[in-house]
Chains A and B, each alone.
Chain A
Amino acid sequence: MTAAAPDRYDATSWRSPWPEWLPDFAFQALGIFLVLQIPPLLVTVLVWAERRVSAWMQDRLGPNRVGPFGLLQSVADLVKFIFKEDHVPGQAHGVLYTLAPALAMVPGLVAFSMLPFADRFMVSDLDSGLLLLLAISSLAVYGIQIGGWASNSKYALFGGVRASAQMISYELTLGLSAAAVVLLAGTLNLREIVRWQQDHAWTVAVFPAGTLAFVVFLTSAFAETNRLPFDLPEAESELAAGYHTEYASMKFALFFLGEYTAMVVMSGLMTTLFFGGWTLFGLERCFEGTLWQTVLQSGIWWAKTLFFLFVYIWVRWTLPRFRYDQLMRLGWKVFLPLSLGILLAAAGTRAWAFGG
């Protein structure tokens, strides 16, 4: 800048009255706010959707009384949860019993913060994103296991033991099928994985490695989140309500919240790893460089993620529960060799089709 009077219309001479770090800080604060608020909000909608969709699939109407289309049903349920007695069973382990619901929910929220909603909008952009995400979401097993143990009830304990065995078994195949994507994209950074898909092709379209990896990942994700057809930890016909049998009031609601947050994370991960994240056949390039692009990309990402959440509900009301030995056989004898094969195929695809 010279000493001459600056052109008053010169944009470069304009100085913001705010400190330089503020926009970034504000953006991050917004991100943190969203990450903490979206999952609980989404869960209330999901619980409503679960009940409505299940009803529709059984030719019923479902909750349609509270609010428009019954949308406030979950809010009413939440109010009920808050006013219920917070009962702790007599022989329960006081500290762990209270800690378990929080342990079940927090990993979901933390993992949610690592998902890339748009090219320039993700709350924590980490180079080891996928690795950390899988590591943290696998911590959820502690909440379930500890909750089952601390309740001092045989049903809850069985539920917890089942949950830990099942989640550890399927974590293997979940990780291996995600590793196939990592091999293809050549990075652990979730944003880079999506960019690779933007440049090449959606991973699910990379036949056979990507397609099979998606099938394995989808199935393992169902087992990871303890959803039907793999909801053995809370198999109500055998174990009362499984690991949360002894829980009441908001503690029970937190377990619920944890389960559904895990669903949101897994659906977001499926979108990001296999279905091109925020990309949609070039539509994501509209409004290049503006805030609208970020809004559009987030919209695309959420549309895909909501579809996978619908698939969760859809599958739940279609399939009966697996037997425990079937679950273990599928995990160890079918999916483990299969996912190792997929890994090989992915390495081969990377070497020959995408040039090393």
Chain B
Amino acid sequence: MTMGYRKVERPALGLAERLVFPAILKGMAITAAHLFEKKVTLQYPEEKHPLPEYYRGVPSLVKDEAGREKCVACSLCEFICPPRAITIVPEERPGGGREEKQPAVFDIDMLRCIFCGYCEEVCPEDAIYMSKEYEIVGRNREEMVFRKERLYEIGGVRPNPIRKWTNADDEAAAQHGHGQGG
């Protein structure tokens, strides 16, 4: 294959360009104009970039509008978690009724978490969500393991459109009431 080539016409330098100084002054005019241009700096701790809706930050646990844990400690997120960042120890939920389990321990090791979002995808109870929190700091490894309390703090309350626990509670109350009454 022969190499194609193209002859580049270089424009001859005019007097102003060969004297250099006029060109330098032109450049200085440009930089001087930029002095007064609007600055693009985002002043980080006070200002933050707007995050897209699909942003995946720290995985967090959420409560329903009545402040109840949604998590039933089914451990699906623990099983699917690719880097095995999640540790769940289930316990029996006091108070009877149809709800059976709750997590006694729910740790996410943020040193391991890869923010893949599988836990959110897999959760049958919509109890774990990827938050928009990304400022993850700790003074040691121990602090980087986020405990249940911290995860709830980050997640906050997310009302459940299905109102599953509410219905279950009503049901349980009805059953209970029926049993007592009978």
Contact = CB atoms under 8 A, between A and B. Distances in A.
Q: Do A and B come from one complex?
A: yes
Interface of A: 53, 55-61, 215, 314-315, 317-319
A338 to B, nearest CB: 11
B140 interface: no
A318 B24 contact: yes
A302 B43 CA distance: 34
Given A58-B34, A61-B39, A61-B43, A215 B21 contact: yes
B41 A61 contact: yes
B24 A59 contact: no
Interface in B6-48: 21, 24, 27-28, 30-32, 34-35, 37-41, 43
25 contacts: A53-B35, A55-B39, A55-B41, A56-B34, A56-B39, A57-B31, A57-B32, A57-B35, A58-B34, A59-B38, A59-B40, A60-B39, A60-B41, A61-B39, A215-B21, A314-B31, A315-B24, A315-B28, A317-B31, A318-B24, A318-B27, A318-B28, A318-B30, A318-B31, A319-B24
Contacts of A317: 31
A222 to B, nearest CB: 11
Contacts of B30: 318
A319 B29 CA distance: 12
Interface of B: 21, 24, 27-28, 30-32, 34-35, 37-41, 43
B28 A314 contact: yes
Nearest to B42: A61
Contacts of A215: 21
A59 B28 contact: no
A30 B24 CA distance: 41
Contacts of A55: 39, 41
Contacts of B35: 53, 56-57
Contacts of A319: 24, 27
Given A57-B32, A318-B28, 15 more contacts: A53-B35, A57-B34, A57-B35, A59-B37, A59-B38, A59-B40, A59-B41, A60-B40, A61-B39, A314-B28, A314-B31, A315-B24, A315-B28, A318-B31, A319-B24
B40 A314 contact: no
A300 B28 CA distance: 24
Nearest to A215: B21
Of the candidates B31, B34, B37, the one having the most CB atoms from chain A within 10 angstroms of its own CB is: B31
B113 to A, nearest CB: 31
Contacts of A315: 24, 28
A318 B35 CA distance: 12
Nearest to A334: B20
Contacts of B27: 318-319
Given A215-B21, A319-B24, A319-B27, A314 B39 contact: no
Nearest to B33: A57
Given A215-B21, A318-B24, A319-B24, A59 B34 contact: yes
